[in-house]
Structures are given as structure tokens and as C-alpha cells.
Amino acid sequence: MLQGRVAFLTGAGAGIGRAGALALAQAGAHVVVSDLDGARAEGVAAEIAARGGRAEAMALDATDDAAVAAAIDGVAMRGRLDILHSHAGLQTSGGLAEASVADMDASWRLNVRAHFVAAKAAMPHMRGQGAGSIILTASNSGVQIDRGMIAYATTKHAVIAMTRQIAADHARYNVRCNALCPGFVDTAFNAGFERQMGGRAGLEAYVASAIPMGRWATVEEVAAAILYLASDQSAFMTGHALVLDGGESL
């Protein structure tokens, strides 16, 4: 499905990012696995190679504008860049009274600005080749309000708005941009929600009661959506917020 294509991923060393990297590689893409933790990125790339896929790894701080732009440019200038999945993110708990200005600034820098920088770096290369798929990770928190999570919900709404703007401006160049909006997936990323709900038992109770399907999503289910957005299966989809949350946001 993705034979001959090149994908660049941020935050791909664990959880959803790792599962997405494995799925894209299995579909034939050459995957550039980047993560703040270089050892984790190396581990994912090695896992892909062990399965017969093609990958390379790099340590990358997604909040370092110059480093992100240089990394994306470097990959594209070696040949091509077909897929960007800007995934790295931050979850900070607290409502208006509890969250600090620093919490909001940190959330904005990683959850919004980093996506902007990555998409801006990728776009000239994709426009030049006349095709590309940009996937920005938002959350189902971007289509609903999460009580007591002001920084997270605000930034995830912003990602969806930015996705739609990028899509509208660049559809004529055959470059698509869509937002991935997962609900609860059982990974370490849920630490903020777990604290907010008073611990693991409270979080498990929420998942069982508030999600109509009554369970967590698996990383493999989210990876299937990443593959869909990256591939020609979604060739006529752009500007869409693809929600995978077991009905939580209904």
C-alpha cells in the first residue's frame, strides 16, 4: 500500500507513535522514527527491521524548531517525503484555577506549535512533488470539553482548527492534512487524566462507565487509522478530524 513512500514521524518511540510506525513500515513505507528518547527510537527502528521493514531512527526534541525543520528537510532532500505524522504531545491536568501559565505555554509549544513547525517544513517538499499526507495528532478532547483539563483541551481544539486551515489552503496541490483524534488508549500518556481522577481505579471506572463501548482502544486500532490517513485509501479526505473514542464524544 505504501511501497516506495517515505514517512517521517515524531513521538514514535512508544505507544501510539510506535504502533503507527510499525503499521506504516508493514505497509511498505520507509519510516523515519524520531523521538525525544533516541534509544526508544532506535528500538522501534530495530523492531521494524527485524520484521523485514525499512526504518531509521533519530533523537529529536519536537519543541526545537530548527532541529525539526532540519530533520524533515534532510530526509526530504535525500529523495522524497510522502507522509508526515506529527504526533509528539503533552498532557497537563488542571482547570483554570489549577493550571499555571507555564502549563499552558508548555502545552501550546508541543501540542500546537510543534505541529505547525513540522507541517511548515514538510509542505514545500510535498507541494513540489504534487502529493503528500500530513497527519497531526489531536485528540477527542478537541471535539468535546474535558472538565479540569483546560490546557490540553484548548490546544487540541486548536490543532483541529489548524488542520482544517492547512487542508483548505493546500488541497489544490494534492497535499492532504487530517487530524487524528484518539480517545482513551491504555498508554503512559494518560498520567494527567489518571491524576485528575484520583488514581488508576478512578480512571478504569471512567473508561468502563463513560465510554459507550466500555473499553480502552488498542494502539493497533489507532495505528490502523494512521495507515488509512497516510494511504490512498483516504485520497479524497482532507481537513477531517478522525475520532476514535468508542463513542465517548457522542
At 191 the pLDDT is 75
**Degrees, nearest 5: CA angle 47-135-46:** 10
| Mean pLDDT, range 199-207, rounded to an integer | 87
What are the distances in angstroms from CA 33 to CA 40, 184, 203?
9, 23, 30
- The architecture (CATH level 2) of 6-244 comes to 3-Layer(aba) Sandwich (3.40)
pLDDT digits (tens, 9 = 90+) for 133-185: 999 999 999 999 888 899 999 999 999 999 999 999 999 999 999 999 999 89
Confidence tier at 249 by pLDDT (50, 70, 90): very high
d(CA 23, CA 51): 11
Give the pLDDT band of residue 48 (cuts 50, 70, 90): very high
CA distances to 10, 32, 46, 85 from 52, rounded to whole Å, are 22, 15, 10, 22
Task: Pick the catalytic residue from 152, 173, 206, 228.
Answer: 152
Active site residue 228: no
β-partners of residue 179 are: 136, 241
pLDDT at 188: 78
Q: What's the whole-model pTM score?
A: 0.95
Q: Identify the pLDDT of residue 71.
A: 98
